[in-house]
Structure 1
Amino acid sequence: MNRETLFTIGKGIIIILIIMAIVFALKAPAADLNGLDADGKALYTDASGLPYFSEMDSYYNYRLT
């Protein structure tokens, strides 16, 4: 492979990594339920206190798409 092909592939990989980092930064706070009161938090957590989903309405959004 020549230098131009490697540069094009490298740019694509960097763009993909940047997009993945942005998506992770947007999705990671959804796992934190500290913004809800105790009653609201109980609806979205299991018996051990872990959240059911990282997104509160992930299947609803999936059905809409």
Structure 2
Amino acid sequence: MEGTTHKLSIDGMTCPCCSGRLTKALNATPGVLQAVISHETHSGVVITNDSISMDQLAVVVAGTGFKLRI
């Protein structure tokens, strides 16, 4: 898959529902090609096109109640 790969560290996830909610929100974000998030490792990988920045990803993460460690 083409695009830019971002490795994320995320605070606040405690269960599979947390990572599922964040994965769904990220995958619904324009510019995100694919997101895979794990509550077990408190991390994720997001592949984006060039139309979205890390700051915009942080806003999506915060909007679901979690904190992106940059």
Q: TM-score over 0.5 for the alignment?
A: no
Greater fraction helix: 1
Greater fraction strand: 2
| TM category, shorter | under 0.3
